[in-house]
Amino acid sequence: MLFMKRALRLAMHGEGKVSPNPLVGAVVVKGKKIIGEGWHERFGGPHAEAIALRGIDARGATLYVTLEPCCPCVSLKKTPACVPLVFKSGVKRVVIAARDIHPQVCGIEELRSSGVQVEEGLLEDEARKLNEVHEVFFKAGRAFCALKIAQSANGKIGVRKAGKVQISGKAFDCYVHQLRNRYDAILVGANTIIEDDPLLTCRAPGGRNPARIILDSRLRIPLHAKALQNAKKDRVIIATTDLANPKKARELKRKGVALLRCGKSKVDVKKLLYLLPKLGLFSVLVEGGAKAAQSFLSAGIVDRLVVAVSPKKINGPNAVSSPVSREMLRKMPYYRCGRDRVYDAYLTSYSK
């Protein structure tokens, strides 16, 4: 179990770099000693097994890998298949955390037919959570949806017309930037852009900026919004409708913003999630206000829900209630993150 835990930690180094491929880590052990290790470092680059086996004598060794090795039958591969490499290396035993849900992968069967001893299921739950995006795409055919909310102790997420109200603590805020690095895109509603004018960037050390998606059925957001800056370099997508102002649409396109029509008068968020993989975006972190969050919850397409509950209280007639009820929170596991209590759970059958 110790070596598989190491492989899982290695796999996480690929966050934000390997999409749409899964995160994979590998450790080669001989005589209870690690002689090689690696992880999938970037999309199109060598797989974890290839890196772990590079330049070592693996004859008689055990390979611990977080995901079933790929085989030659997988189409459109950018790198050589791992199963023949593992067999040629002389590895005697392969321990796999989870089977690959990709319909063309048959690595376990091929390894066994080649005489390699295979064991599977060690820390399987951890490995599947690591590749939540991969799982949902192949099960449901859409982008993975994570919803993040910060709310006060009395269930409020902000104050109308007051701009950004700081609710969560510094520890959780740092974690949010790790989530932004993990997922392909970050999504907010038009009201968040108009009232808070956020940058929607990732400030985690070594992280990368996700694509920015804005729900705006009538194209109300101002052209000078911070989230639209550098749109020709940093990908910006506005999900809109047939009610979009044609003149504003042309101005946004000149700035480099892509428009995606997803409905007649209201953005169909479920349709949006099915369209995103066609644009190369396989996961989205929803950080919008109450309206945007409620639209995803009501559609039943939130795969992962992360709610930070602060000890603060927000009162007054303009306080905005969270779409997440106390009843929902009572059913969710939680942990401490600085001063906040963070509830984190998988909601759909695709992500469990």
Give residue limits of the domains in the chain: 2-130, 134-351
Return the SS3 of 119.
strand
- Residue 202 CA to residue 120 CA, distance in Å, equals 36
pLDDT, one tens digit for every residue, the chain (352 residues): 999 999 999 999 999 999 999 999 999 999 999 999 999 999 999 999 999 999 999 999 999 999 999 988 766 677 889 999 999 999 999 999 999 999 889 999 999 999 999 999 999 999 999 999 999 999 999 999 999 999 999 999 999 877 778 999 999 999 999 999 999 999 999 999 999 999 999 999 999 999 999 999 999 999 999 999 999 889 999 999 999 999 999 999 999 999 999 999 999 999 999 999 999 999 999 998 899 999 999 999 999 999 999 999 999 989 999 999 999 999 999 999 999 999 999 999 888 7
Give the whole-angstrom CA distance, residue 224 versus residue 215: 17
Tokens of residue 295, six digits: 């639209």
What's the whole-model pTM score? Answer: 0.94
- 8 A C-beta contact, residue 207 and residue 16: yes
- H/E run at residue 270: helix 269-275
CA distance 44 to 256: 27
Known active-site residue 49: yes
192 CA to centre of own chain: 21
Residue 160: the pLDDT is 85
Beta bridge partners of 118: 94
**Rounded-to-integer distance, Cα 170 and Cα 164, Å:** 15
Q: Is the dihedral of CA 91, 123, 343, 301 positive or negative?
A: positive
Out of 15, 37, 41, 49, the active site residue is 49
The C-alpha atoms of residue 325 and residue 346 are separated, in whole angstroms, by 16
The whole-angstrom separation of Cα 266 and Cα 258 is 18
Superfamily of segment(s) 2-130: Cytidine Deaminase, domain 2 (3.40.140.10)
Q: Which CATH superfamily is domain 134-351 in?
A: Dihydrofolate Reductase, subunit A (3.40.430.10)
